[in-house]
Amino acid sequence: MRKTASRSAALTLAAAVTGTVSAFALAAAPAQAAPAQATSLYAPSALVLTVTDGDSAAAAAKRAVTLSCAPTPSGTHPAADTACAQLRAAKGDFTALAGEEDRLCTREWRPVTVTAQGVWQGERVDFERTWANPCVKSAEGAAVFSF
């Protein structure tokens, strides 16, 4: 009888240890991340705009500004209100931005490249364009790239 009692006690002890280890494993399990909650009624619109001398954005930027348009225009852009209004009118399409139509520019080749990277109304933006010279950039690039 002694063997049966010690065998039964050993099984009880093993079950208790297994249950305790399982409880610790569950307690130490990583918590599940909570789903992202919207913190604003506005879709995010935050951009970094750069100007680079040359025909590629690979060179170091000559100037860079930030532009945030929701809920209100802000950032380091010198004309954030106007730039945000132009982007809203173009529905975030940088190729549809209108500049100064009556401006005359020379035909010199002194390329200027601009980039816009970030988020516009919740959508990822990665825009790059090269103009022949700073005058053409100002004429066609609207206030968004005037900094």
Q: What pLDDT shows up at residue 46?
A: 92
Q: What pLDDT shows up at residue 39?
A: 54
Residue range 68-116, pLDDT digits in tens? 998 889 999 999 999 999 999 999 999 888 777 778 888 999 999 999 9
Dihedral sign computed on CA atoms, order 120, 126, 130, 134: positive
Rounded to 5 degrees, what are φ and ψ at 131? Answer: -110, 160
3-state secondary structure of 107: coil
Taking the alpha carbons at both ends of the chain, their separation in whole angstroms is 93
Distance CA(57)–CA(77), nearest Å, equals 19
Q: What pLDDT shows up at residue 132?
A: 93
For the whole model, what pTM was predicted? Answer: 0.67
Residue range 50-67, pLDDT digits in tens? 999 998 878 788 899 999
